[in-house]
Structure 1
Amino acid sequence: MFSETALNVALSQLMELLNISTATVQWLTTAYLLTLGILVPISGLLLQRFTTRQLFVAAVCASITGTFLAAIAPNFSFLLTARVVQAVGTALLLPLMFNTILVIIPAHKRGAAMGMIGLVIMVAPAVGPTIAGLLIENLSWHWIFWLSLPVLFISLIFGILFMQNVNEVSKPPIDVLSILLSSLGFGGVVYGFSSAGEADGWDSPKVVIALIIGAVALALFTWRQLTQEKPMMNLRAFRYPMFTIAVVMVLICMMIILSSMLILPLYLQKGLGKTAFEAGLLLLPGGLINGLISPVMGRLFDRFGPKWLVMPGLVVAGAALWFFSDISAASTAAFIISLHSTLMIGISMVFMPAQTNGINQLPLELYPDGTAIMNTLQQVAGAIGTALAVSIMTAGSKSYLSGSANPADLMEILAGFTQGVQRVFIFGLIVAAAGLVLSFFIKRVKIKHEMPKAGH
């Protein structure tokens, strides 16, 4: 998760050092998301065909290889290839982690375990930009990757020594057509939205074509999964209402988190004149608070269920987004830190409790499919949220400057940029309000089954 966001701070420096454009450098993020969008849907199949140890070792080896290649990368194409190899590791590891938790942790203790996962997933992207900013100012961008390598090697050694096989290997048949449709569908949608959010815009032919191909392939993929006896990704999981609500809640959280994680550092640097390191420091408290209270929210979920966490959480997040919609060049550092921290507290009250409650409703045989669906749609929501945020920001800025008497004036450009950023937070507020309406329908799931112990 650190690898996913740490490079974002270095993008502007990479543009200068490697002599590439904004549209080109964004591929370091787009290619990463694209790889996840293609591989994560297949994870449900992989979880049933290979043992826990095999998948873990393969995932960490891919991460080590990609990270090492990125650390020695002499040019852009080499670095881009390294990012794709890195993403292969992430795409295997995330669903494996969630599935392992579901297998070995009894349902009545699962909230606390998922809260611990929340700590890991939220803290790493939060500290990523800060640590990366520090490394860039004092060393070079290569050190973002050198820093990760020892940790990955230690993980591999511990995995080889102590990892147990906890999943049942059933060797389901490989449906090549489903894999192809899934890759075209999710890959097309992620690529289309990512390209639209970067430099191409919504009316670009390649964006339109990618989205059409993605939509058609996803429709065919869905039809094929629902008509097969043993589908690659069992979409019958959506028959369980709490799982469906959980998926929507996770999508809402991902859209809010990723759009704000993109827009806030941008505004702090371009609008308020902060350095990359200062921007990272300002956003660090919110990310740390989110991570540290995730286990607390997990234990509260085990005790009280999801409703009395999810509803207040969306109100808290909505309030923070409403105040953020008034952000300006006069906003103080304390104002931004407190609002960002409040937003992160609200998100942590929603994310893991809703997700755990939804997966708890699924029968045992749908766990691999449930985690694959959840993780795939998180990546898609991330791409959509980021693209919409950039589009709304650009449109808001253009709208302001079109009515300006002097659109070339630097103060007017800043005012236009500020209006665009404010509109992104209004969009986030609307998304949170939709989630609040949906939260009235959330109910605590009664567990009717338990997993056998690992090794049995």
Structure 2
Amino acid sequence: MTEEKNITTGYDVTGKKYPRILLILSVLIGGFMTVLTETLLNNGLPTIARNLHVTTATVQWLSTGYLLVIGIMVPVSALLLYRFDSKRLYLTALTIFLVGSLLAYIAPNFSLLLVGRLIQALSVGIIMPFMQNIMILIFPAEKRGMAMGLTGIVIALAPALGPTLSGWIVDQFSWRDLFGIMVPITIAVILLTMVGMRKLIVLTHPRIDILSIIESSVGFGALLYALATISGGHWFIIGVTLLIGIIGIVLFVRRQLAMDDPMLNLHVFQSPMFTLTTVLSSLSNMALLGMQLLVPLYLQSVFQIPALTAGLVMIPGALMMAIVNPIAGMIFDRSGIEKMSLVGFTIFTLATIPFVIMTPTWSLITVTLLYAIWMAGISLIVMQLGTAGINALPSELVAHGNGVNTMARQIGASIGTALLITISTLGSQMSHATTTVASSLFGYRLAFLALVILSLLGLIGTFWLRKASRTTATVTA
């Protein structure tokens, strides 16, 4: 039987064989490098603030602004994928990342540093969904679980390693090396991409709708800004910004549904399976990013240990994720999402409960083991839920489905981190404890309790997966 020549069997759009291994390596290494920057500055922000003579609130914009730009770029990603050939798009995004890293590395002041950081985010907003789309499209549906397991190592492991790596770099070298280290790696990935990447997707040249881009940028940008600044307590500004965001998103949704060729096809929500798995994957990503933020802050504030030590406590959890993600992908390919989702939500719900009652007298080894178990549980589901939903869509909507899922997870992460920090801050302020450590402990316990509630909601949602998977719906492109 003659092998069908398409992207899943190893042929590009010209009918020529592409080097699958080199292509996968270029995409995953580039994705790991760029996603790593999400948390790479975590332990370097205080040092940057001191060296550049800016306040803590000002230096936080290196994280907040980064998040905003990524959130704005994600809805545009599906349009770019079908308008520019894969190789040119990826090389352009990597070059943008290189320029941002170089500018941040040599920046003489905070303003130029922020510009460099935002340029980095512009690239990450393209590369992150690009990586997921390519990994989905080059594998047939029955092997996508394994593909997304590999992708999950990048998306989840890179941010987990960021705080530890940044603590070590800042301690041993300079904060500038947080950006400088990216330069040679980016150049190497560019060279690898020039050899391994091909034109993989038939271009449809979707029309660039400027109004859609404006509505999505204003809507999602304002929403993410409001969520990112909620812990500051400026409620009038937050309320106005949130209202602007909601109006922008409503206008964007209405326009996408009315257009014949939308920038982001929201008809993917006609699939019950896609809708449910997108909600559950957003909940799991909310919990993942929330836990990765809470644990190092909790250990430093309550256990009174340095940032580097707190980062080392998280390393076994990151390694556990690297081990479990590909295994979860293979299990998904054989058995589907229903049982694995139930097991995953159960494990990370049970592993979160001890953090609610934890005290500074507990051994760091115990904390390390609990966090590693928690990471194992969430690794079973955080990527596979999205894969299950995308598998329910027709091939022409895969990129749009991935764009919607990525956007939902990004917003979920923003909501989760803002909500948990707000709960922790307000809890500390309401505490009647006589010491700062005791007040912080009370606040963090409330935040971990919120995580337990979040995980329980996800656990309840898994019981609808079987029904959703058996519900047929015609999804129109």
Per-residue deviation, 1:445: 5.5
Tell me the secondary structure at the aligned position of residue 230 of structure 1.
Answer: coil
Matches within 5 A, 1:5-404: 5-197=39-231, 200-201=232-233, 203-401=234-432, 404=433
Could you say what the CA RMSD is over the residues aligned between the two structures, in angstroms? 1.5
Amino acid at match of 1:334: I
Per-residue deviation, 1:366: 0.8
Q: Deviations over 1:141-189 (max 9, x none)?
A: 1112222221111110111122011111111111111111111111111
Q: Deviations over 1:19-55 (max 9, x none)?
A: 2222111111011000011111111111111110111
TM-score calculated relative to the size of structure 2: 0.89
Amino acid at match of 1:173: R
Per-residue deviation, 1:309: 0.7
The answer as to whether partners of 1:44 and 1:372 remain within 8 angstroms in 2 is yes
Q: Deviations over 1:53-93 (max 9, x none)?
A: 11100111111111111222222111111110001111111
Q: Among residues 457, 463, 471, which one is paired with 1:434 in the alignment?
A: 457
Q: Name the CA distance, whole Å, in 2 between partners of 1:186 and 1:173.
A: 21
Q: Name the CA distance, whole Å, in 1 between partners of 2:202 and 2:369.
A: 46
Q: Name the CA distance, whole Å, in 1 between partners of 2:340 and 2:213.
A: 37
Amino acid at match of 1:54: R
Per-residue deviation, 1:15: 2.2
Look up the match of 2:32: none
Per-residue deviation, 1:138: 1.1
Tell me the secondary structure at the aligned position of residue 351 of structure 1.
Answer: coil
Q: Name the CA distance, whole Å, in 2 between partners of 1:425 and 1:323.
A: 9
Look up the match of 2:31: none
Q: Name the CA distance, whole Å, in 1 between partners of 2:270 and 2:197.
A: 34
The answer as to whether partners of 2:317 and 2:371 remain within 8 angstroms in 1 is yes
Per-residue deviation, 1:434: 0.6
The answer as to whether partners of 2:135 and 2:151 remain within 8 angstroms in 1 is no
Unaligned runs of 5+ in 1: 449-456
Report which stretch shifted further, 417-426 or 272-281.
Answer: 272-281
Amino acid at match of 2:126: L
Tell me the secondary structure at the aligned position of residue 93 of structure 2.
Answer: helix
The answer as to whether partners of 2:265 and 2:400 remain within 8 angstroms in 1 is yes
Q: Among residues 444, 451, 455, which one is paired with 1:421 in the alignment?
A: 444
Per-residue deviation, 1:204: 2.6
Unaligned runs of 5+ in 2: 1-34, 473-477
Q: Name the CA distance, whole Å, in 1 between partners of 2:132 and 2:205.
A: 20
Per-residue deviation, 1:370: 0.7
Tell me the secondary structure at the aligned position of residue 233 of structure 1.
Answer: coil
Per-residue deviation, 1:361: 0.5
The answer as to whether partners of 1:36 and 1:376 remain within 8 angstroms in 2 is no
Among the aligned pairs, what percent are the same residue? 36
Per-residue deviation, 1:334: 0.9
The answer as to whether partners of 2:344 and 2:378 remain within 8 angstroms in 1 is yes
Amino acid at match of 2:55: S
Amino acid at match of 2:199: N
The answer as to whether partners of 2:317 and 2:375 remain within 8 angstroms in 1 is yes
Per-residue deviation, 1:314: 0.4
Work out the number of aligned pairs and report it: 436
Q: Deviations over 1:316-350 (max 9, x none)?
A: 01011111111222122112101111111111111
Amino acid at match of 1:309: M
The answer as to whether partners of 1:126 and 1:288 remain within 8 angstroms in 2 is no
